[in-house]
Chain A
Amino acid sequence: MDEVLLRSLTPRVLAVLVRRGADFAAAEDAVQDALVEALRVWPDGPPRDPKGWLVTVAWRKFLDATRADAARRRREDRVEEEPPPGPAPSVDDTLRLYFLCAHPSLSPASAVALTLRAVGGLTTRQIARAYLVPEATMAQRISRAKRTVSDVRFDRPGDVATVLRVLYLVFNEGYSGDVDLAAEAIRLTRQLAAVVDHPEVAGLLALMLLHHARRAARTAPDGSLVPLAEQDRSRWDTALIAEGVGILQAALARDRLGEFQAQAAVAALHADAPTAEETDWPQIVEWYDELARLTDSPVVRLNRAVAVGEAEGPRAGLAALAALDASLPSSRLRSSGGDPIPRYTAVAAYLHERDGDLAEAARLYAEAALKAPTLAERDHLTRQAARLNARRRGRRDAAGLRKPSAARPRAT
């Protein structure tokens, strides 16, 4: 039995049933029943048209289940009147499923789970493993999501931005367990890009490809983070970069700029630089200006400060950072725990180091490490602080301020 074929057919069959008016949960049950039947029958006599076969059987299963439910009699009358299946407009069907799974009534976590299940065709166990939660928890999350959308009247496509946000969330989960979620997100976004003509869909696909292209170079063999400037650029995937840049250029030519296209443009400028020194920082600053206009997000302005620091020097970067401080309510900067803006302190540390203030930079790196959201980032920032502290000790020793034997008694 061809598992890849079944996995690619499942969402399409599900989409046909949903289009014909089956509610989501009932449609999924029917498709599951049809798959079980396929596993039983196909080895002896594989159908010529596997999708047609699955649609027919799933639809029959759905009707059986609906008939058995007396309360749904009226609805059954309605669906029975539907014309018999002809050549299915599968393009629209799949699209409908994307929008249903990313419905605004679902929480982001539910939308992600449902999309992976219904559109991606992953099993509940695979999704649970990828998100490191028990299978029972993921099963509940998915069945709640199905209940939430079961009453949604779905007669017109929803908001593309919602679908893109869900796919972006999947991509950002990276990979763990036996499913590579970044690759899965790319697969689904490719599929979406094939059926919906929207520059932001292309922008997101380009962004994912450009980031994915750098994946191999982003971590050292021991799992530690390698900053962009220090990455071995020969390990970047040039085919993915070329594809991403091509998709982005076509999207930009349509002159309907959006957030993902602008982010992809920044990623493309990084990918395009043969060495870190040759990065076109002034142009990156311009793209961050566009992004700030589109989103007004503090994270964007933080990244802009980094770019300004590279384009015009660390003092200018620190000034951009100070302007960001002034525009934020003080409570958002002083809140305890995590950084109010992710990586804010790390950026401040980096700019102070480039400005030559090693003491302040080391202090800020150590502070940023405490606020880091990931283990790899925390270790990276701790190493940065340790590196600067070692350099400062070396300087003092060289200046005769401190004898080498008078090492500091406690670990730094």
Chain B
Amino acid sequence: MAKYLLLKHYRGAPAPVNDVPMDQWTPEEISAHVRFMHDFAARLEETGEFVDGNALAPEGEWVRYDGEGRPPVTDGPFPETKDLIAGWMIIDVDSHERAVELAGELSAAPGAGGKPIHEWLEVRPFLTATPGITECH
């Protein structure tokens, strides 16, 4: 088993196929989208593959250390940035193929017109903390 982080980007990478901003959707379309996410998580919980997940606020800021005794430097928010992430889910699956398969399914969440939004998801494996049986030569 290996854990993967599925990152839902707002608009990282190429534009999704069904690229309509969410505030242009109908309320029903938003409900359908939210229900899809919910059902997806519930289904993974049942297969024993769900670890955690959450949505993130669209606006964040950059923070940096600015020297002893000084408050941290902040910059932003950056509502236009391409780096914004809408939410994430952690799954624990048998194989990389399974992680990609699930990300593909999650990307089919319905959007405007009830059609899949084809949004890009970033799939990142977790590094494990403990070494296994293999030794470094």
A contact set with B: CB distance below 8 Å: 107-110, 112-113, 131-134, 136-138, 140-142, 144, 171-176, 211, 214, 218-219, 225, 227-229, 306, 337-338, 342-343, 346-347, 350, 372-378, 380
A131 to B130, CA, bound (A): 12
Chain A residues whose CB sits within 8 angstroms of the CB of B96 once the complex forms: 337-338
Query: In the bound complex, do residue A374 and residue B136 qualify as a contact, i.e. CB atoms below 8 Å apart?
Result: no
Tell which of B1, B48, B94 has the most Cβ of chain A within 10 Å.
B48
Query: In the bound complex, do residue B3 and residue A132 qualify as a contact, i.e. CB atoms below 8 Å apart?
Result: yes
Chain A residues whose CB sits within 8 angstroms of the CB of B49 once the complex forms: 137
Query: In the bound complex, do residue A374 and residue B131 qualify as a contact, i.e. CB atoms below 8 Å apart?
Result: yes
Chain B residues whose CB sits within 8 angstroms of the CB of A171 once the complex forms: 133
B19 CB–A CB distance under 8 Å: no
B45 CB–A CB distance under 8 Å: yes
Query: In the bound complex, do residue A136 and residue B45 qualify as a contact, i.e. CB atoms below 8 Å apart?
Result: yes
Instruction: State the majority secondary structure of interface residues on A.
Output: helix
Of the candidates B3, B133, B137, the one whose C-beta lies within 8 Å of that of A306 is B137
Instruction: State the majority secondary structure of interface residues on B.
Output: loop
Chain A residues whose CB sits within 8 angstroms of the CB of B24 once the complex forms: none
B127 CB–A CB distance under 8 Å: yes
Chain A residues whose CB sits within 8 angstroms of the CB of B54 once the complex forms: none
Query: In the bound complex, do residue A375 and residue B127 qualify as a contact, i.e. CB atoms below 8 Å apart?
Result: yes
Of the candidates B3, B45, B52, B127, the one whose C-beta lies within 8 Å of that of A140 is B45
B69 CB–A CB distance under 8 Å: no
B contact set with A: CB distance below 8 Å: 1, 3, 45-52, 92, 94, 96, 125, 127-137
Query: In the bound complex, do residue B137 and residue A144 qualify as a contact, i.e. CB atoms below 8 Å apart?
Result: no
Query: In the bound complex, do residue B92 and residue A133 qualify as a contact, i.e. CB atoms below 8 Å apart?
Result: yes
Query: In the bound complex, do residue A225 and residue B46 qualify as a contact, i.e. CB atoms below 8 Å apart?
Result: no
A211 with B133, Cβ < 8 A, contacts A131-B92, A137-B50 known = yes
A219 to B132, CA, bound (A): 12
A108 with B134, Cβ < 8 A, contacts A134-B51, A140-B45, A372-B127 known = no
Query: In the bound complex, do residue B130 and residue A108 qualify as a contact, i.e. CB atoms below 8 Å apart?
Result: no
Chain B residues whose CB sits within 8 angstroms of the CB of A229 once the complex forms: 137
Of the candidates A137, A343, A375, the one whose C-beta lies within 8 Å of that of B51 is A137
10 contacts between A and B (CB under 8 A): A133-B92, A134-B50, A140-B46, A141-B48, A144-B48, A176-B129, A218-B131, A218-B135, A225-B136, A380-B136
Q: Which residue of B lies closest to A309 (CB)?
A: B137
Minimum CB–CB distance from A275 to chain B (whole Å) comes to 15
A375 with B125, Cβ < 8 A, contacts A109-B94, A144-B47, A227-B136 known = no
Query: In the bound complex, do residue A144 and residue B46 qualify as a contact, i.e. CB atoms below 8 Å apart?
Result: yes
Minimum CB–CB distance from B25 to chain A (whole Å) comes to 31
A374 with B137, Cβ < 8 A, contacts A133-B92, A137-B48 known = no
A107 with B130, Cβ < 8 A, contacts A133-B51, A141-B48, A144-B47 known = no
